[in-house]
Structures are given as structure tokens and as C-alpha cells.
């Protein structure tokens, strides 16, 4: 856990805060996407969240909130709050993500962390 937090803190130094709300790419919004690792997720039309994100750690779905976007590297930092086991306090997890277009209906969603590789994301029209 400490290593993950250290990695995030070091990685976050490279990000520049952008004024205004963070939004996921417009071409991903308003669709259900089928992922190889996190089930069927939806990016609503406002683009500020990813909903129904399945966790590999807990048997639950979460809503990821777009927190920051780095225009230079085309990466997004998303956050999610959750309870770990039966803890009273909420924990916050951070995901550094990048979306690479393969076709109009297929993207690779890459997590820039030590624990995950990549996730294919696709949707039906």
C-alpha cells in the first residue's frame, strides 16, 4: 500500500492542473463499454465519470471520477472512494489512465501502475 501511494505521489508531480472540470474523451461518452478486466462500464454523456467499474479487489462496482487531465501526455487521473473491509473511513484510490483508439468501437485503456497492464474496452452500436 505504501509503495502504491508513493508511486502515485511521484507520478502526480508530472501532472499539471487544468482549470475547469476534467472530462473523459468525447468519443467515449454515452456508451456502454465492455472491458476485459472491469466488466461493462458506462461513460455518461457528461464525461465526468466511469460508472459500474468492477473491482478486482472487492466484489463491488464503483464510480470513477475524472479528477485531472494532463494534456502533454494525454493521461487522466481518476479517483474512487470505497470502504476497505468494514472500515468506517472511506479510502481513495487513484487510477492513472490513457485511452488509445484502435477503431471507432475499440479502445485500449491503459493503467499506468505497477499492478495492472492494459484493458481492452469496446462497445456495441
pLDDT of residue 66: 95
**What gap in Å lies between CA 123 and CA 39, rounded to an integer?**
12
Taking the C-alpha atoms of residue 48 and residue 65, their distance in angstroms, rounded to an integer, is 6
Given a cut of 60, is residue 16 above it in pLDDT? no
Per-residue confidence (pLDDT) for residue 61, from 0 to 100: 85
At 21-68, the pLDDT tens digits run 799 999 999 999 998 888 899 999 999 999 998 877 667 788 999 999
Position 116 pLDDT exceeds 90: no
Cα Rg of the chain, angstroms: 14
**What per-residue confidence (pLDDT) applies to 89?**
65
Claim: this prediction has a pTM higher than 0.75: no
pLDDT digits (tens, 9 = 90+) for 69-111: 988 888 898 888 877 666 666 777 788 889 999 998 899 888 7
Cα-based torsion angle of the residue sequence 47, 45, 82, 15 in order, rounded to the nearest 10 degrees? 0
Q: What is the pLDDT of residue 101?
A: 93
The pLDDT confidence band at residue 120, using thresholds 50, 70 and 90, is very low
Give the DSSP H/E element, type plus range, for residue 9: helix 2-12
Q: Residue 4 is inside which H or E element, if any? A: helix 2-12
Amino acid at each position: 500500500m505504501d509503495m502504491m501511494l508513493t508511486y502515485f505521489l511521484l507520478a502526480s508531480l508530472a501532472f499539471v492542473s487544468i482549470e475547469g472540470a476534467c472530462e473523459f474523451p468525447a468519443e467515449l461518452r454515452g456508451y456502454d463499454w465492455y472491458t476485459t478486466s472491469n466488466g461493462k462500464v458506462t461513460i455518461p454523456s457528461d464525461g465526468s465519470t466511469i460508472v459500474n467499474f468492477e473491482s478486482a479487489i472487492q466484489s463491488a462496482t464503483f464510480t470513477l471520477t475524472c479528477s485531472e487531465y494532463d494534456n502533454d501526455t494525454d493521461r487522466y487521473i481518476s479517483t474512487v472512494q470505497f470502504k476497505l473491509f468494514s472500515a468506517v473511513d472511506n479510502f481513495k484510490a487513484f487510477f492513472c489512465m490513457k485511452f488509445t483508439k484502435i477503431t471507432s468501437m475499440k479502445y485500449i485503456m491503459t493503467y499506468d501502475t505497477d499492478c495492472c497492464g492494459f484493458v481492452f474496452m469496446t462497445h456495441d452500436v
